[in-house]
A and B are shown apart, each in its own frame.
Chain A
Amino acid sequence: MTSPADLSLVERELSPEEAQFNDLIEKDSRIEPRDWMPEAYRKTLIRQISQHAHSEIIGMQPESNWISRAPSLKRKAILIAKVQDEAGHGLYLYSAAQTLGISREEMMDQLLSGKAKYSSIFNYTTPTWADMGSIGWLVDGAAIANQVPLCRASYGPYGRAMVRICKEESFHQRQGFEILLELMQGTEEQRRMAQESVNRWYWPALMMFGPPDDESPNSAQSMAWKIKRFSNDELRQRFVGMLVPQAEVLGVTLPDPNLKWNEEKQAYDMSEIDWDEFHEVIAGRGPANAERMRRRREAHENGTWVREAAAAYARKQAAKQKVVA
């Protein structure tokens, strides 16, 4: 792929803007929407932020599946509030991406056409109530481990959106933990439900940190630009370290017979992750990929006439005000 022309680009002198950009990154300052930025930095951010926004929106589905059947009114209220928070996170993130010069419609089109990705964890299904606990504890837990460093991401609007999101996510994780705790302190059937659910979600949650460092193509540049601060494997280790004592409190078993603290390496030994499964789900062959997209498309299409009505009404009101003025 590399042509002689590309090589000459590498050796050219930095423009003053580019030098200033590099300097801001170097000093850990924030890049703001009006600042100059390399086109690749802009593209990387749009890809990452919109992907994150899409994940929030698609991520509403596996949980909204249980809103109607939540087993107590208190749980129903908490679950609605949580799914609603996710819609809110999607909104902040779309706004942050919009500051980079892409519209919400464009991003929505990319999602619906399958061009943009979302976190593949949401392609797993939620057959039992305990999955509301596991999603909170494991999936939101992994998301937090991934996202806390993003609060310091070099792009200002993204970092600031992440601060808000992380605060809410930490509540989400606690409520998931609490659901599992309640189940584990409940009847034999409830305890079985909790353990079975943790067994299903544990490995997919670990996969959320992405491929091992030596196979992660976009990581190095993102770390250099300080969009990303820790490697996939570092974050995965950190997450497992957090889960182990919490699993003890819950009384659930993490489904990895080889999970053990290694004093010498100062890290957990664990079984090999089944990356074939990961790639299958990413390739669209997970348990619910088609269903998630179908549902999103259906909501979007059913809502078209409503959005058009709102836009037409706003135009008419604006025209009226003009006449009055």
Chain B
Amino acid sequence: MSDQHDLDPHGEVSVDRLRLADEYAGDSERHGAVASPDVAEYAMRLGDDALVLAQHLGDWVSRAPELEEDVALGNIALDLIGHARSLLHYAGTATERSEDDLAYFRDEPDFRNAWLFEQPNGDFAHTIARGLVASVYLVELYAVLTDSTDPTLAAIAAKSAKEVDYHRDHAIQWTLRLAGGTDESRRRMIVAIGDTWPYVEELFRDDELVERLAADGVAVLPSSLRERFDDVIADVFAEAKLELPTGRHAYIAAGGGRQGKHTEHLGPLLAEMQVLARAHPGASW
């Protein structure tokens, strides 16, 4: 343990194949880099998306349909926590707060994740549908963000891009299996797609913040990713013989997560996540 402490000032330990220090992307670029308030807000949006989704996925570990999925969903959660840590760490430099200050000591209205990410796990089909939308969106986002003029964001995106590519592959494979498996699985997949689709549109909304940052080449305009997202989904749906939802499922949820407005799912999730840390403010773990 001691030699690892020497290697790494954050007190990381290596986890099997994975070194958490490596998960903490953008490290070299971050030296001395302090996020501006705008950049911090943007990093917090992306970090909260990752954190909230990881928190949900962690619930599958020990409850998945087969052991291979305990491993796979755990892997995805682990990657997303890595992204969240890097992004929240960077966001925190603007206000001298740590990743854990931001994760554990902000209240619901201060969370900036989009509604998609806080939607509950549901059955396995719902988790897959949510994962499909999230990963297809994130692959496109990080591919472009890798060229950000902000070196820290660019480094985090480059690291994350490889991982979300695997998440997308996982979601697509399961979408195909569930849609093309049994009558029961197909029925469930269609319900899940219907329940998930109202949350798609919010991911691609621009606002003043991203417009300002995109003008400087720092952020990616969400609206610019929509076409590629639709293309990928169209291919997957064609192969899976699925259709985009119509009727009551075609509605668009109000959204507002980027401004701190959330569905009723986020509060309980945060209460559980934060309970121990908040019972011991100032403690180190």
A241 within 8 A of B: no
- Asked if B180 and A313 sit within 8 Å, CB to CB, the answer is yes
A82 within 8 A of B: yes
B28 within 8 A of A: no
Residues A83 and B61 in contact in the complex (CB < 8 Å), given A77-B23, A91-B67, A129-B276: yes
Q: Which residues of B contact A88 (CB under 8 A)?
A: 71
Task: Tell me the B202-236 residues at the A interface (CB within 8 Å).
Answer: none
Q: Which residues of A contact B75 (CB under 8 A)?
A: 84
- Asked if A71 and B61 sit within 8 Å, CB to CB, the answer is no
* Smallest Cβ-Cβ distance to B77: which chain A residue: A80
A178 to B123 CA separation, bound complex (whole angstroms)? 36
A185 to B284 CA separation, bound complex (whole angstroms)? 9
- Asked if B61 and A84 sit within 8 Å, CB to CB, the answer is yes
B143 within 8 A of A: no
- A85, A178, A295, A304: the one contacting B1 at CB < 8 Å is A178
A295 to B64 CA separation, bound complex (whole angstroms)? 11
- Asked if A81 and B100 sit within 8 Å, CB to CB, the answer is no
- Asked if B182 and A303 sit within 8 Å, CB to CB, the answer is no
- Asked if B100 and A171 sit within 8 Å, CB to CB, the answer is no
* Smallest Cβ-Cβ distance to A296: which chain B residue: B62
A303 to B51 CA separation, bound complex (whole angstroms)? 25
For the residues of B in contact with A, the DSSP-based class is helix
**In the complex, per-residue mask of A186-199: 1 if CB is within 8 Å of any chain B CB, else 0:** 11011000000000
**In the complex, per-residue mask of B266-279: 1 if CB is within 8 Å of any chain A CB, else 0:** 00000011011100
* Smallest Cβ-Cβ distance to A309: which chain B residue: B181
* Smallest Cβ-Cβ distance to A299: which chain B residue: B63
A75 within 8 A of B: yes
A285 to B173 CA separation, bound complex (whole angstroms)? 43
**In the complex, per-residue mask of A287-325: 1 if CB is within 8 Å of any chain B CB, else 0:** 000000001001100111111111111001000000000
Q: Which residues of B contact A187 (CB under 8 A)?
A: 280, 282-283
A62-70, A203-211, A261-269: which lies at the B interface? A62-70
Measured CB to CB, the closest approach of chain A to B157, in angstroms, equals: 19
- Asked if B64 and A299 sit within 8 Å, CB to CB, the answer is yes
- Asked if A76 and B181 sit within 8 Å, CB to CB, the answer is no
B99 within 8 A of A: yes
* Smallest Cβ-Cβ distance to B269: which chain A residue: A68
- Asked if A73 and B100 sit within 8 Å, CB to CB, the answer is yes
Q: Which residues of B contact A87 (CB under 8 A)?
A: 61-62, 67, 70-71, 74
Q: Which residues of A contact B20 (CB under 8 A)?
A: 74, 77-78
- Asked if A78 and B178 sit within 8 Å, CB to CB, the answer is no
Residues A77 and B15 in contact in the complex (CB < 8 Å), given A87-B74, A303-B124: yes
A319 to B160 CA separation, bound complex (whole angstroms)? 37
Residues A60 and B70 in contact in the complex (CB < 8 Å), given A67-B61, A295-B63: yes
B81-89, B146-154, B243-251, B256-264: which lies at the A interface? B81-89
- Asked if A309 and B277 sit within 8 Å, CB to CB, the answer is no
* Smallest Cβ-Cβ distance to A310: which chain B residue: B177
Measured CB to CB, the closest approach of chain B to A2, in angstroms, equals: 42
Q: Which residues of B contact A308 (CB under 8 A)?
A: 181-182, 184-185
- Asked if A309 and B68 sit within 8 Å, CB to CB, the answer is no
A157 within 8 A of B: no
**In the complex, per-residue mask of B37-67: 1 if CB is within 8 Å of any chain A CB, else 0:** 0000000000000010001001101111111
**In the complex, per-residue mask of A124-144: 1 if CB is within 8 Å of any chain B CB, else 0:** 000001000000000000000
A30 within 8 A of B: no
A67 to B70 CA separation, bound complex (whole angstroms)? 13
**In the complex, per-residue mask of B184-213: 1 if CB is within 8 Å of any chain A CB, else 0:** 110010000000000000000000000000
- Asked if B78 and A309 sit within 8 Å, CB to CB, the answer is no
A48 within 8 A of B: no
Residues A72 and B100 in contact in the complex (CB < 8 Å), given A60-B61, A87-B74, A313-B180: yes
A200 within 8 A of B: no
Q: Which residues of B contact A42 (CB under 8 A)?
A: none
Q: Which residues of B contact A185 (CB under 8 A)?
A: 284
**In the complex, per-residue mask of B72-112: 1 if CB is within 8 Å of any chain A CB, else 0:** 00110110011011001000000000011001100000000
Measured CB to CB, the closest approach of chain B to A190, in angstroms, equals: 6
- Asked if B84 and A190 sit within 8 Å, CB to CB, the answer is no
- Asked if B277 and A306 sit within 8 Å, CB to CB, the answer is no
Q: Which residues of B contact A78 (CB under 8 A)?
A: 13, 15, 20
Residues A174 and B13 in contact in the complex (CB < 8 Å), given A72-B277, A81-B78, A309-B182: yes
A119 to B20 CA separation, bound complex (whole angstroms)? 30
- Asked if B61 and A182 sit within 8 Å, CB to CB, the answer is no
- Asked if A77 and B78 sit within 8 Å, CB to CB, the answer is yes
A288 to B18 CA separation, bound complex (whole angstroms)? 32
A75 to B123 CA separation, bound complex (whole angstroms)? 27
Q: Which residues of A contact B6 (CB under 8 A)?
A: none
Q: Which residues of A contact B84 (CB under 8 A)?
A: 73
Inter-chain pairs besides A189-B280, A307-B66, A312-B185, 7 sampled, C-beta below 8 Å:
A71-B104, A74-B285, A77-B85, A87-B62, A91-B67, A187-B280, A305-B185
Measured CB to CB, the residues of A under 8 A from B are 57, 60-61, 64, 67-78, 80-85, 87-88, 90-91, 94, 129, 168, 171, 174-175, 177-179, 182-183, 185-187, 189-190, 295, 298-299, 302-313, 316
**25 CB < 8 A contacts A-B:** A60-B70, A68-B55, A68-B59, A69-B272, A69-B276, A71-B280, A71-B283, A71-B285, A72-B104, A73-B100, A74-B11, A77-B78, A78-B13, A78-B15, A80-B58, A80-B74, A80-B78, A84-B75, A129-B285, A182-B284, A183-B285, A186-B283, A186-B285, A306-B185, A309-B182
Top 7 nearest A-B pairs (CB, nearest first) are: A303-B65, A309-B181, A309-B185, A306-B65, A84-B74, A81-B15, A64-B62
